[in-house]
Structure formats: structure tokens, C-alpha cells
Amino acid sequence: MSDVDFGKAPWTVAALAAVALGLTGCAPDGPDPAPQASESEAPDVYAGDALPDLALEEVPLVGDPVYAEAERSAVHGIVAGRVLATRPGDLNVIMLDAYDATTGELAWDITTGEAAQLVLDTGFGSGRLEFAAGTVQRGGSGYAAPLFSNGNETTPYRSGLVMIDASEGTVAWATELTLHLGDDVDGISVHTDVVDATSEVVIANIEAQSVDGTPVSMGVVVDAASGEVRWVERGVVLSSIAGDVVTAIRTEEPRDDEGSLVGLDVVSGEQAWEAGAAGEWIGATGALAAAWTPEAALFDTASGEPVDAGAILSAPVVADDIAAWLDPDERAVVTYAAGDERPWPGGTEVVADDVTAIDAAGYLWVASDARVTALDRTGTARSEPLAGAFAGADDGAVVTVEDSGAVHLWRTTD
């Protein structure tokens, strides 16, 4: 194996090609690689196609924004050509900023006063948008977030969701959830977290109390185009949207962090399968889902059946039909594609902390010493180390965030 150490001084990738992040990787094709003759037989390694190198240059964000004023500051990702971030504004109310992912200029923002006006304009009355509890829309162009209005002697507290058009910063739709939660729920106690969103649906978890003080937990799914509520289910904590199912845990008590691993039909909310294991989901976006059971494990999202991927020795990351993790003993990045007979280690030695993300182009983003680097399934580095933690990639743009809150935007060069 060759040796790539991401914890040492920056290095230069030879012959960097100008490519966009829209390219996709390939799964292994053909027979297993033949073992090499040696005193001790080397393990088979991934022998599929490599991804092109990424030539990236930094695009300064206008104003050098820092998102570290409070815990609720965050960079949420890139959608519709915008880098979306939240930070406290006036009265410590969260604001939403959108930077152009090509020029780095501030495209639009929603300040404290503007957020209050948006809630009024939706017909909810006086209230707030909870941008910190929102998420970008995978495969779409929006940012979904909770909103609520304050009650008074004549008007009850109301909770709902809003979809912000990320390209313009306008409201695509707003929908009320209160009417679907049950008459026994105390409106002032409702706390909503949007946990995933695609072009088809938005899913959120709600924690509340009944009027007698009993804790209540439920999941809600709404249509991403209209905001229409599809279904609400009590006793579950939703995790991710994976094709025709929503991965969830069915809990014994409200506000439990672990439970039976299940898949719920995205249209009806009916239970599609039970994985036969208890724990908590790590994530899913397509054919594979990862969970702690308490060991790390993979599951087929179509059936809920466990996937035999061997021992997973560190936290796995999944995206569509690919899972990736680090083998700390062999110092290798390991990948598994749905349908493979076995997991495949890369042929290049990797010294790093974790695989933190797999982007839409199939690049594996590996973290070490407060930097991230793009690899492919061979374990070969395809970018120079970038300062900060990976926060998103889309259409030739990558965004990273340092512990200090400094945000870096990078683009592929043409």
C-alpha cells in the first residue's frame, strides 16, 4: 500500500483535473482481484474505477462571516446554488443567511424582523421561525423549518412548518401541524425538529406534553410540494427518508433515544418492516441504512433485512447504495455497495479520524486534524486537505467550517 497521512503538512495532488462534483463513481466490476504472491497473502482491495481528481480553489465569502456566536449557529449545506447558514440575531432569534455558491456574495438573508413578518404573512399571527431546527432539501431547492405563533386568551398556540425557496429567500408554502397532533396536546409545549427533506416529502419529530403533563412524542410527514400533512404517528422517532420508506425507531417511552428499528411507508405511515433489532439509526438516503445495535450494522431499506458487510470497526456513513468507514487496524477506508458480496478496503493506506460524508458524486470526505480531504473508493486522495469540517457539496461547490466558526467556500476550477 502507498501511504497518505492527512494529519501532516498539506500536500499537492498531481495532475489535478478540472471536474464538477456531478460525476459519479462506479461499483466493482468483474472478478475479485487476483492475490499477489508474497510471504503473507495481502487482502483483496477495491478494484473498480477511480474518480477524477478535484482541483478546488477558495471563493471568499463576502464579509468573512463567522458562525460561532452561539450553539445555534450552523452551516446547513448547499442547495439551489446557495450556502445556507443560521446564526443568532436580535433578541437571540435565529436568522437565515444565503450566500451565492458561485460568487460568495450574500444573496439574501432573513433577519429577526423579517422572520416575524413572514410568520404574520402566513396567517399564523405573532410568532417566530425556528431556522435552527430546519434542514436543506435533498434533491430540491428549499429549506424546511418549524414555525410557531404565540397564543393568548382567545387564540391558541399554533405550530407548523414552512418551506423557504433557497434561490430567492421567499416562502414556498406554510402548513399548520397543530390540528393534526390531537386534542390532548398542550400547544405551548410543542417542539418541532425537521430531520430530513427531499423533493417528495419533509419529515419532522415533535416532542410535546398532553394537557395533563404527560410527555408525548410523534413523527410527522408532509408533502414537499404543497405542505399537506400526509400522516402523523405517535410513539416513533423518525430518522431519514430512504426511497419508499422512512427509517424510524419505535420507542417504549416518549423521548427515548433508542427503540425497535423499523421502516414506515412514506405515503401511508404503515409499518413496512421491522429490522428485528433495537438501537438507533445513524442515517440513510437510499438502498442502505446504518444503525447502532449497539454495534454498527447495515440494513436493506427495501426489506429491513440485515446486510452482511463484515465487522464495521468505526462509525459508518451511508449515501444511496454506498456505505463507507475506516478500518483503524488496517489503516484503510472500507466501502460496501448494495449487492456486493463483501466490503472492499481501498488499496491506499489512510491515516485519518473518520469518514464524515459521501457526496452526490461518490467522493468520500475524510477528516483529520481539523481538515477534510476527498477520497475515492480506492482510498486515493482526490483533493488537497481543506480547512475545517465538511458541511456540504453540490454542483462544483464545497463548503467547510472551522471550529472558530469561519466558513470556507471552494469551487472546482474550469
Residue 196 CA to residue 214 CA, distance in Å, equals 27
Q: Per the structure, how many domains does the chain have?
A: 1
Q: Is residue 360 assigned to a domain?
A: yes
In this structure, what C-alpha cell is assigned to residue 276?
A: 428485528
Say if residues 166 and 154 touch (Cβ distance below 8 Å).
no
Task: Give the tens place of pLDDT for each residue, 185-205.
Answer: 998 899 999 999 999 999 999
Separation of alpha carbons 287 and 27, rounded Å: 14
Single-letter code of the amino acid located at 115: A
pLDDT at 10 (0 to 100): 33
Q: Coil, helix or strand for 319? A: strand
Helix (H) or strand (E) holding 112: helix 112-121
- The pLDDT, as a whole number, for residue 60 is 95
277 in a structural domain: no
E strands, 137-244, are 142-149, 158-165, 170-176, 191-197, 201-209, 215-223, 229-234, 236-242
pLDDT for 134 equals 96
The pLDDT score that the predictor gives to residue 25 is 35
> Residue 180 has what pLDDT?
94
Looking at residue 257, its pLDDT comes to: 85
Q: Cβ of 229: how many Cβ atoms within 10 Å?
A: 18
pTM beyond cutoff 0.85: yes
How much is the pLDDT for 66? 84
pLDDT at 163: 98
Q: What is the pLDDT of residue 88?
A: 86
Distance between CA atoms of residues 364 and 362, nearest Å: 6
Of the candidates 294, 288, 219, the residue with the CA atom closest to the CA atom of residue 249: 219
Contacts of 96 (CB under 8 A, 6+ apart): 84, 85, 86, 109, 110, 115, 129, 131, 143, 145, 164, 169
Q: pLDDT at position 67, please?
A: 85
Structural domain span for residue 378? 1-60+316-414
Residue 348 lies in a domain: yes
Judging by DSSP bridges, how do beta strands 142-149 and 127-129 pair with one another?
antiparallel
Which pLDDT value is given to residue 69? Answer: 66
**Residue 385 located in a structural domain:** yes
Whether 201 maps to a domain, the answer reads: no
pLDDT at position 16, please? 29
Residues 6+ apart with CB under 8 A from 93: 112, 115, 128
CB-CB neighbours of 365 under 10 Å: 24
Positive or negative torsion for Cα 266, 24, 379, 47: positive
User: Among 220, 234, 236, 117, which residue's Cα sits nearest to residue 177?
Assistant: 220
pLDDT at res. 70: 60
Burial class of residue 268 in the structure, from the number of CB atoms within 10 Å of its CB (0-12 exposed, 13-18 middle, 19+ buried): exposed
The pLDDT score that the predictor gives to residue 238 is: 98
How many other CB atoms sit within 10 Å of the CB of residue 226? 11
Scanning the structure block, which residue is given the C-alpha cell 478535484?
A: 54
Give 10-residue mean pLDDT values along the chain (414 residues).
40 32 35 39 80 96 81 90 91 89 97 91 90 95 94 78 97 95 91 97 96 94 98 97 97 90 98 97 97 96 95 95 95 94 94 95 96 97 97 97 93 88
376, part of any domain: yes
pLDDT of residue 53: 97
Which residues are CB-contacts of 105 (< 8 A; sequence separation ≥ 6)? Answer: 62, 99
DSSP 381: B
